[in-house]
Amino acid sequence: PGPLRFQGERVEWLQPSTLEQLLVLKEQHPQAKVVVGNTEVGIEVKFKNMLYPVILAPAFIPELQEIQHTPQGIVFGAACSLTCVGEELKRAVATSPAHQTQVFQAVLEQLRWFAGLQIRNVAALGGNIMTASPISDLNPVLQATGCTLTLASTAGLHQVQMDRFFLGYRRTAVQPHEILLSVLIPYSTKWQFVSAFKQSPRREDDISIVTTAMNVTFMPGTSVVKELKLSYGGMGPTTVLAETTASKLVGRLWGEELLEVACQSLARR
């Protein structure tokens, strides 16, 4: 069957049932808005007077709801709700060795403070990434930990690392004829530690002032920094990696002195 179609006075709503249909529709209507939970688009339409004449609703396409376990990590279809992502990550944390689930635990920490249950039940992981909000609570974790995004179009699939994804204020590497298909959240390795933080005026159900995620790997058996990625939200037009600071900390011992160098370097930027 073809896509389900509703035509209103100002808006055409198309609900394809296969990935192929969705990609063909996105090619035919590159400006069409892909809508899953509508928690972002709904606000834009209701409060910012935005009009999106063509809406594509992909929530029931199996590939966008799929959860796959791979040797690298867990791949979530872009339309998986945040509740569903959280439940799968909790299962993995309960059944895997702790050193493998550092990234999962950091995502779970951010989800704990992400909106309320009603929003998390409908809002999608892909919707948060694609909104490209500089104060997204999840994007710093996904960026600092090297999550991989798979984009799809009628031409095929290609992958983009999160650290190359945000091009400007609410601008991403996704082309108008493409959609975000899935997100790989990787396993961590031994000697790797990940933490994420959200600072907002209110503790619960509030917009962040600043968010951050820190991903450090030590030289085996030591406290010498081997690799480090620091990602911040709320500090500029996009979620950003503090690359200069991170490069100054590699090779140093983890301790007060490193903290001092990190704070001074971050303050200078």
Is 21 a residue that touches ligand FAD (CB under 6 A)? Answer: no
Q: Enumerate residues 6+ apart whose C-beta is below 8 A from 199.
A: 208, 209, 210, 211
Segment near ligand FAD (CB under 6 A), from 38-46, 89-97, 160-168, 259-267?
A: 38-46
User: Interface residues for ligand FAD in 158-197 (CB under 6 A)?
Assistant: 174, 179-180
Alpha helix (H) residue ranges in the chain? 19-28, 41-47, 62-65, 82-95, 102-112, 117-122, 125-131, 139-144, 243-249, 256-268
Q: Are strands 192-199 and 156-161 parallel, antiparallel or unpaired?
A: unpaired
Is 75 a residue that touches ligand FAD (CB under 6 A)? Answer: no
Is 210 a residue that touches ligand FAD (CB under 6 A)? Answer: no
Is 242 a residue that touches ligand FAD (CB under 6 A)? Answer: no
Is 119 a residue that touches ligand FAD (CB under 6 A)? Answer: yes
Is 136 a residue that touches ligand FAD (CB under 6 A)? Answer: yes
Is 36 a residue that touches ligand FAD (CB under 6 A)? Answer: yes
Is 114 a residue that touches ligand FAD (CB under 6 A)? Answer: yes
Is 78 a residue that touches ligand FAD (CB under 6 A)? Answer: yes
Integer angstrom CA distances of residue 210 from 34, 95, 113, 253: 27, 32, 13, 27
What number of H helices and E strands is found in the chain?
Answer: 10, 15
Dist. CA 159–CA 269, nearest whole Å? 30
Contact present, 27 and 5 (Cβ < 8 Å): no
Q: Enumerate residues 6+ apart whose C-beta is below 8 A from 204.
A: 113, 116
Among 137, 140, 231, 232, binds ligand FAD (CB under 6 A): 137
Segment near ligand FAD (CB under 6 A), from 36-44, 156-164, 244-252, 256-264?
A: 36-44
Segment near ligand FAD (CB under 6 A), from 37-45, 65-73, 84-92, 221-229?
A: 37-45
# residues near ligand FAD by CB under 6 A: 27
Using CB under 6 A as the criterion, which residues of the chain lie in contact with ligand FAD when the complex forms?
33-41, 43, 78, 114-115, 119, 123-124, 126-128, 130-131, 136-138, 174, 179-180
